A = this chain, B = another copy of it.
Amino acid sequence: MTEHGVSRRGLVGGGVAVAGVAAGAFVAGRATAAEGSAGPSAEDAFAFRGAHQAGITTPAQDRLHFAAFDVTTGSRAQLVALLKAWTEAADRMTSGLPAGEVGPTGGAATMPPDDTGEAIGLSASGLTITFGFGPTLFRDAHGRDRFGLADRQPDALRTLPHFPGDALDPDQSYGDLCIQACADDPQVAVHAIRNLARIGFGTVAVRWSQLGFGRTSTTSTAQSTPRNLFGFKDGTANIKSEETADVEKHVWVGAGDDARAGWLAGGSYLVTRRINMTIEVWDRQPLGDQEAFVGRTKDSGAPLSGGTELTEPDFAMPGSDGPVIPRDAHVRVVHPDTNDGVRMLRRGYNFVDGSDALGGLNAGLFFIAFVRDPDTHFIPVQNKMAKVDALMEYLKVTGSALFAVPPGIGPGEHVGQALFS
């Protein structure tokens, strides 16, 4: 705890977190700590404002709280007011400050605090907050324009098609708006979503929310590769933030991509898939079969064609019965070489949500991917995977959503400003 400097208790001694953001900076820069701060500080803060939203190419944090919201008002003005309030609160919280100026304990006893308090004393913890707009924000289920935005709906922002094997729970799918909060301390991620939901009371309602306890991706070459609940390394071949050409090509929407949706340039599309794993069945499969399904060794993560984790798989290398990396191995099915060269920036998390009706764990992978265009970068690969991937026998997709992620927020702007102006 500190009486001065930047802390979630509030800015007792004045001063503002200096967000070291260069417009257009590729990876959101780390904010510099305010002078004289001790204890909780902004030293582990990422800048909220910039050319692109943080939480995409930012090195994947350890913990996730993701929430989808339904808009409960018909008022465009109220919706815009919420986006402004969310922007301000997100800017503050990602700097390690309370959600509002008064803070959790700084106000009058007769007023509700403007921060809920559970992050008092905690640092920014690498928190990023990323906003997205779902197709139903533009048009309702009957095609009606809800907020005067229909003619600016991106062409690719449609409810994802039904894929083979989908067993979607509508209460875990879809949404008008989404917020992805990632942090290295789960209490900080939960605090962010909880306060944004609080601020949205009367304008939005939480449609679904998902905690992820462990990252399953690397978005920087500086990060080690984590493991998913199949026990395999996940994210080895993910786009890394250092691969700037591939990020430009596969993640950010280009200025000319969609004539109707110029507001989305510099943004991205966010796909979520709640993928339940039948881990009890998986756990009874022989090691060799598990490795054949994945196409990599379980230990080092090297492709079955040899080398180390980062060695490119050799899909032509013969094995004793067909290629050494089987035709239905996951690594082959989703590899760019077999998918017109498309890559995704994945940012998924392991989850366990209690137990299922069969006496097993309700567990799996909450898949998140950022792509330039779902029509080219997600739907074809997912269709193929659903049809031929050997892993599909151990997967059940129970949630699905697609959002358009507006570009970064400039100084004085609010999230999605270009869409609403």
Instruction: Determine whether A256 belongs to the interface, using a CB cutoff of 8 Å to chain B.
Output: no
Contact A283 B116 (CB under 8 A): yes
Contact A210 B354 (CB under 8 A): yes
Chain A 320-364 against B: per-residue CB contact (8 Å), 1 yes, 0 no? 000000000000000000000000000000101111001111110
Chain A 200-211 against B: per-residue CB contact (8 Å), 1 yes, 0 no? 010011111111
Contact B65 A352 (CB under 8 A): yes
Tally of contact residues, A, Cβ under 8 A: 74
When all copies of this chain in the complex are counted, the total is 2
A115 CB to closest chain B CB, in angstroms? Answer: 8
Q: Which residues of chain B are near A298, meaning CB under 8 Å?
A: 104-105, 113, 117, 120
Contact A194 B287 (CB under 8 A): no
Contact A197 B361 (CB under 8 A): yes
* A361-B110 contact in complex given A117-B231, A198-B280, A352-B65, C-beta closer than 8 Å: no
CA distance A70 to B208 in the complex (A): 29
Q: Which residues of chain B are near A186, meaning CB under 8 Å?
A: 186, 213-214
* A354-B209 contact in complex given A187-B214, A197-B360, A297-B105, C-beta closer than 8 Å: yes
Q: Which residues of chain B are near A72, meaning CB under 8 Å?
A: 359
Identify A108's interface contact among B118, B214, B287, CB under 8 A.
B287
* A112-B359 contact in complex given A280-B201, A298-B104, C-beta closer than 8 Å: no
Contact B209 A355 (CB under 8 A): yes
Q: Which residues of chain B are near A358, meaning CB under 8 Å?
A: 205
* A109-B287 contact in complex given A117-B227, A211-B352, A352-B190, C-beta closer than 8 Å: yes
Contact A352 B209 (CB under 8 A): yes
Contact A187 B350 (CB under 8 A): yes
A6 CB to closest chain B CB, in angstroms? Answer: 17
Q: Which residues of chain B are near A229, meaning CB under 8 Å?
A: 116, 118, 190, 194
A67, A186, A193, A208 interface centre (most CB from chain B within 10 Å): A186
Enumerate 6 A-B pairs (CB-CB under 8 Å) in ascending A order: A116-B279, A194-B361, A197-B280, A205-B359, A206-B355, A207-B355
The 3 tightest CB contacts between A and B, nearest first, are: A117-B231, A205-B359, A109-B288
Q: Using a CB–CB distance below 8 Å, which chain A residues touch chain B?
A: 9, 63, 65, 67, 70, 72, 104-105, 107-113, 115-121, 172, 185-187, 190, 193-194, 197-198, 201, 204-211, 213-214, 224, 226-232, 279-280, 283-288, 290-291, 297-299, 350, 352-355, 358-363
